[in-house]
Chain A
Amino acid sequence: MYEFILHLLIFTGIFIILAASCDLILGYAGMYQMGHGAFYAIGAYSAALIALHWHWPFYLEFLASGLFAGIVGALFAASMVRANADYFSLATFGLAVVTFTVLMTWDSVTRGPLGITGIPGINIFGLSIVTGLKFLILTALITAATIYLLYLLVHSPFGRALKAMREDEIATLASGRNTPMMKVVAYGIGTMFAGFAGNLYAHYISFIDPTTFSINISILVLCMVVIGGMGTLKGPVIGAFLLFIIPELLRFLGLPATTGGLIRQLIYGVVLVVMQAWNPRGLMGIKLPLSFTKIRPGHKEIA
């Protein structure tokens, strides 16, 4: 039981990092992010590969896996940023699908469906952190650091400019900001943290395979943000807690695993629909316009 609680808390931490960083992109910068899981995967696979092949010190490997995810994220955003916002969100979804396919088929690197086994635990200056309480403490520290950095970001002029862009991109341009660049930077930072979460996951579970990184994980993270509340930091933290812990507790009802899985999906779906109908701001967040097409420069919009 004790071990199980530690396990739940470690995962909660990982999901808090994912949801909060997704919210920087979704709730603050106002870009629909349906592909956060892709960067979670990139972080996890780069952590695994670096740990197995290059044996870098943990802090370097940790930074590298996050930076790599963030750079891929920034490049992706840069290539898509001029597209209509609806296409952008579709592209993030596509990216999640493509990432899954790449993990499945690029055998020589990812070992395809077999996955990568034997990922070592974490070793920080001789202290070995493999599972249990030590891993929870490390996860808690990294989660706290993530929330702290995101807090500093969103409560700074940087965060204010992101919010302005989310509220009215045309007016943000009119006050001198390079909004395409801001989107690239926000997306890069958000996806970097997803990479950090992936790194922790790979070391904790010690075995990764593509099934963890299907489109479901991106949708789960999106649900955490939307249900908890976009555009706040409390929202995704609460969302991660609720959406991860509650379904886990269902296990105690003694349902067979497959039924449990289905019920979990059902709960996400129902909660999401109910939240949207009852309170589109989520538990604590702001309300995003449903479509961003209206902020695109074009016919009659810039009156």
Chain B
Amino acid sequence: MKNQMIMKIEGISKNFGGLKALHDVSLEIENNRVVSLIGPNGAGKSTLFNTLTGYIRASAGRVFFKGEDISGAPPNIIAAKGVARSFQITRVFPALTVLENAVLGCYPQAGENPFVATLLRKRWQKEEKENSRKAMANLEVVGLAQHRDQLAESLGYAQRKLLEIARVLTTDADLILLDEPFSGIFGDTARQMMNVITSLPARGKTVCLIEHNMDIVMEISEWIYVFNFGELIASGKPKDIRTNERVIEAYLGKPA
């Protein structure tokens, strides 16, 4: 599948009242890459994620995932097709254990049917073993395995972000959208998160992340898309983006 486009976005616009949060955005994401969306706060990056994953309906434009038009589909359908995401404000299930949080990445599960849950326990228990194993493997990857039986609410901020990533990894999705996974994450944890992300293409996954820390973006991205005021203003390899005038302008403001 190398060099194929896993996602194509064609002319997406989104208005919130008079505000043009996204204006005619078109881009393609290549399979098995780590790519980044960057841009100042309010540039529309999260809004783009929300339209791609069905939480927000675009005012115009189309989204194709593996060639299939998914524009306007509800979030759960898009997720089930293989687009997983994290949220800028971390979303874990506080009253569930770390392992339960991660296992919820597995979908579909036979035991979520109430008939199977009560009458065919053997069937789901077998599946559950496999799901737990998979979830544990991903908790291992993010370094939360030893916390498996703790409630998620007992985790600190950084650990919650890692747990959300573990759930996302457990989904089997081919395209992973991470909204600011590094915000508030420093030092070893950031390094660990970078390692996790850069290891994903080898597992057949494509990662698109929104990130503000330029050192991290430049280090882990193979391709970068730059947004400003709802528009895609540049895209390219990290070294080209670094020297792109429009990008510098967007970040530093117009020279007087």
Interface residues of A (CB under 8 A from B): 149, 152-153, 156-161, 163-164, 167-168, 170-179, 185, 189, 231, 286, 297, 302-303
Instruction: State the CA gap A158–B124 with chains docked (Å).
Output: 10
The segment out of B102-110, B193-201, B226-234 that lies at the interface is B102-110
User: Do residues B93 and A156 form an inter-chain contact, with CB atoms below 8 A?
Assistant: no
Instruction: State the CA gap A6–B216 with chains docked (Å).
Output: 71
User: Which of B50, B96, B171 is A164 in contact with, Cβ under 8 Å?
Assistant: B96
Instruction: State the CA gap A168–B152 with chains docked (Å).
Output: 13
B53 within 8 A of A: yes
Measured as residues with beta carbon below 8 angstroms from the partner, the interface class of chain B is 35 or more
User: Which of B88, B91, B118 is A156 in contact with, Cβ under 8 Å?
Assistant: B118
Chain B residues with Cβ under 8 A from A286's Cβ? Answer: 95
Interface residues of B (CB under 8 A from A): 46, 50, 53, 55-56, 74-76, 79-80, 84-85, 87-89, 91-96, 100, 103-105, 107-114, 117-118, 121, 124, 128, 164, 167, 171, 179
New A-B contacts (8) at CB < 8 Å, excluding given A160-B100, A161-B112: A156-B118, A157-B124, A164-B96, A170-B55, A171-B164, A173-B76, A175-B105, A297-B55
Asked if A176 meets B121 with Cβ closer than 8 Å, knowing A170-B87, A302-B55, A303-B46, the reply is no
User: Do residues A176 and B95 form an inter-chain contact, with CB atoms below 8 A?
Assistant: no
Chain B residues with Cβ under 8 A from A176's Cβ? Answer: 76, 79-80, 107-108, 171
User: Do residues B117 and A168 form an inter-chain contact, with CB atoms below 8 A?
Assistant: no
* A290 CB → nearest B CB, Å: 15
Asked if A174 meets B121 with Cβ closer than 8 Å, knowing A156-B111, A286-B95, A302-B87, the reply is no
User: Do residues B92 and A171 form an inter-chain contact, with CB atoms below 8 A?
Assistant: yes
User: Do residues A164 and B104 form an inter-chain contact, with CB atoms below 8 A?
Assistant: yes
User: Do residues A173 and B75 form an inter-chain contact, with CB atoms below 8 A?
Assistant: yes
User: Do residues A174 and B85 form an inter-chain contact, with CB atoms below 8 A?
Assistant: yes
Instruction: State the CA gap A149–B114 with chains docked (Å).
Output: 10
Q: Majority SS of interface residues in chain A?
A: helix
Asked if A158 meets B46 with Cβ closer than 8 Å, knowing A173-B76, A286-B95, A303-B88, the reply is no
Chain A residues with Cβ under 8 A from B107's Cβ? Answer: 175-177
Instruction: State the CA gap A176–B77 with chains docked (Å).
Output: 6
* B181 CB → nearest A CB, Å: 13
Chain A residues with Cβ under 8 A from B74's Cβ? Answer: 173
* Nearest neighbor of B16 in chain A, beta-carbon distance: A299
Instruction: State the CA gap A152–B53 with chains docked (Å).
Output: 33
Chain A residues with Cβ under 8 A from B84's Cβ? Answer: 174-175
User: Which of A157, A172, A177, A297 is B117 in contact with, Cβ under 8 Å?
Assistant: A157
Chain B residues with Cβ under 8 A from A170's Cβ? Answer: 55, 75, 87, 91
Instruction: State the CA gap A157–B105 with chains docked (Å).
Output: 12
* Nearest neighbor of A181 in chain B, beta-carbon distance: B76
Q: Which of A152, A153, A176, A185 has the most CB of B within 10 A?
A: A176
User: Do residues B76 and A171 form an inter-chain contact, with CB atoms below 8 A?
Assistant: no
Instruction: State the CA gap A258–B108 with chains docked (Å).
Output: 55
9 contacts between A and B (CB under 8 A): A152-B121, A157-B128, A160-B104, A163-B96, A164-B93, A168-B93, A171-B167, A172-B104, A179-B76
Asked if A168 meets B55 with Cβ closer than 8 Å, knowing A156-B111, A157-B111, A173-B75, the reply is no
* Nearest neighbor of B113 in chain A, beta-carbon distance: A158
For the complex of A and B, the 7 pairs showing the least CB-CB separation, nearest first, are A157-B111, A156-B117, A176-B107, A171-B91, A303-B88, A167-B93, A158-B117
* Nearest neighbor of A188 in chain B, beta-carbon distance: B114
User: Do residues A157 and B95 form an inter-chain contact, with CB atoms below 8 A?
Assistant: no
Q: Which of B46, B53, B79, B105 has the most CB of A within 10 A?
A: B79
Chain A residues with Cβ under 8 A from B111's Cβ? Answer: 156-158
Q: Which of A168, A172, A303 has the most CB of B within 10 A?
A: A303
Chain A residues with Cβ under 8 A from B80's Cβ? Answer: 176
Instruction: State the CA gap A188–B103 with chains docked (Å).
Output: 26
* Nearest neighbor of B91 in chain A, beta-carbon distance: A171
